[in-house]
Amino acid sequence: MPAIQNIKVAVDAVVFGYTSKEGLSVLLIKRDVKPFRDEWALPGGLVGDDESLEDAIQRELKEETGIGINYLEQLYSFGQPGRDPRNRVISITYYGLVKPDAFELQANTDANDVAWYNIKKVPQLAFDHQQIIVVARERLKNKILYQPVGFELLEEKFPFSELEKLYMAVLDRPIDRRNFKKKVLKFGFLEETTEKQLLDGAGRPGNLFRFNEQKYFQLKKEGISFEI
């Protein structure tokens, strides 16, 4: 017996942001259409008949948040019946990690507001978007254990403590700082400079570090293993 289908395809984006001051956050829109009007949700929408998935997610991000991101990684497909009260909708989801202050937010089309929310203060979300964020965060936690992060998120030169803060924010747990530094430096994608960290108060300033761009992207492509 042939299957009867009336299925629509959508895309949704989990865009994580990171700053040293705010920690880990996620980009949300306030919906301007039914269902769930005036409720917070992930940016996304239906894929056009003439669009690729990648083009669709970039278009939705631009329309609803005003930002464009060079690279988003495909996360998972969510297709539970009833996840959208209007139709049977399968969502192909994407995720990425960016520096929030690199973008100017602007809500448009199906959104009447857009904002970064601290990952620990996310409001109740429309559809199954809360579940999508949980899955995306677990993927991000696992990913940074075999692929270095930080090049796009930290300043050109930074104290080592900033890299530690980044990893602790993403992993949501303390790390063994001494072993972490030893393991990271072993891979060679960080270079210690002779420039000193500027301190507001008393204390001995440490040297600043910078990424060895060639080594960083080589290891990011090949993969490494952090036992943090």
pTM of the model: 0.92
Q: Diameter of the chain by CA atoms?
A: 77
Tokens, residue 26 = 């996620």
Sketch out the chain's domains with CATH numbers.
7-143 (3.90.79.10), 158-222 (1.10.10.10)
Distance CA 86, CA 75 (A): 24
Matching residue, tokens 């970039």: 58
**Type of residue at 82:** G
Is the pLDDT at 46 greater than 80, yes or no?
yes
pLDDT value of residue 201: 57
Q: Which of 12-16, 35-39, 151-155, 195-199 has the lowest mean pLDDT?
A: 195-199
Distance CA 117, CA 190 (A): 30
Is the pLDDT at 58 greater than 80, yes or no?
yes
pLDDT value of residue 205: 77
Question: pLDDT-based confidence at 127, cuts 50/70/90?
Answer: very high
